[in-house]
Amino acid sequence: MAAEAPPAGEPEASRVVARVNQAEITYGEFKRRLEGFQRERGPMAPEQWRDILRGMVQEEILLQGAAAAGLDQDAAVKARLEQARRQLLIEELLKRKVLAVAQVTDEEARRMYEESKPLFSTETVAASHIMVKTQEEAEAILQELQAGKDFAELAKAKSQDTASAEKGGDLGPLSHGQTVPEFEEEAFRLKEGELSPVIKTQYGFHILKSGARATIIQPFEEVQDRIRQSLLQQKQRETFMAFMTDLEKRATTELFEDRLR
């Protein structure tokens, strides 16, 4: 639900909407707080506005309590406030001079994709296997295959991997990291149509038949967010360095490192 605008005849920013002792909370202050909440949490219905105002009142009560306790004059607190002020000013400067400037266009993202397609490609190999419990069984099946028996028929008859056995042992295309290392190593080592020796894995004993190889390139739509983030970080670094260099050139600085000891 979209957030409702304040009522027609919106109060002036200086109109008082709450008072805590002698401190006043204006409509302008409330509106800024409301807008901040809506940026973070999404639209807020008018019936929730009272909760925001009550929160501001509680905050003012606590602030007055801190002042009454003399915390605003405490040296440690004042030092922290000054550090917070400095940090806020720096963050706002960088937001306006670096983050707002370092933007990534559609053309830049697409160009990086075209220039870096190998980074978004995956090598695959089609593979089929027959899995049994013992090495003796596997060796016997391998001898049958080497004698000319049909791989798919033997897989359907003898493989204990029932899911692939129904498809003649077909596992579909495998990519790097998708299966156990000893199985993957053989799959990518073999030539198309070649049989492996018996392979032992944690699941059993396998005979593997390698199929066609292919290279699959992820479409731009699947990787564009990653590309944009990478480009954005790079642009932000470059923009910051250029901005910082310019400020340093215009500043007069002196370092007295010997005084650090």
Per residue, the 3-state secondary structure of 13-25, as one string, reads CCCEEEEECCEEE
Instruction: Count the alpha carbons within 13 Å of 100 in the hemisphere toward its beta carbon.
Output: 7
Q: 147-153 long-range CB contacts below 8 Å, 24 or more apart?
A: 151/195, 151/209, 152/128
Per-residue pLDDT at 3 = 42
Same domain, 124 and 67: no
What is each CA distance from 96 to 85, 91, 100, 245, in whole angstroms? Answer: 17, 9, 5, 17
Residue 97 resides in a domain: no
Q: Are residues 129 and 183 in the same domain?
A: yes
Beta strands in the chain (DSSP E): 16-20, 23-26, 121-132, 170-175, 199-201, 204-217
Report yes or no on 244 lying in a domain. Answer: no
The pLDDT value recorded for residue 33 is 94
**Residue 32 is assigned to a structural domain of this protein:** yes
Q: What is the distance between the alpha carbons of residues 41 and 37, in angstroms, rounded to a whole number?
A: 6
| Residue 13 included in any domain | yes
Asked, for residue 174, whether it belongs to a domain, the answer is yes
What is residue 21's predicted lDDT score, i.e. its pLDDT?
Answer: 96
On whether both 39 and 129 belong to a single domain, the answer is no
Element spanning 71, H or E: none
Q: Does 226 reside within a domain?
A: no
pLDDT of residue 261: 85
In a domain, 193, yes or no: yes
- Find the domain containing 12 and state its range: 1-71
The pLDDT, as a whole number, for residue 225 is 95
Kindly report the number of other CB atoms within 10 A of residue 123's CB atom: 13
- Domain's final residue, options 43, 71, 99: 71
pLDDT, position 177: 87
105 within domain boundaries: no
Structurally, how many domains does the chain consist of? 2
Q: Which residues of the chain have pLDDT under 70?
A: 1-11
Q: What is the CATH number of the domain that holds 166?
A: 3.10.50.40
Point out the domain boundary residue: 45, 71, 97: 71
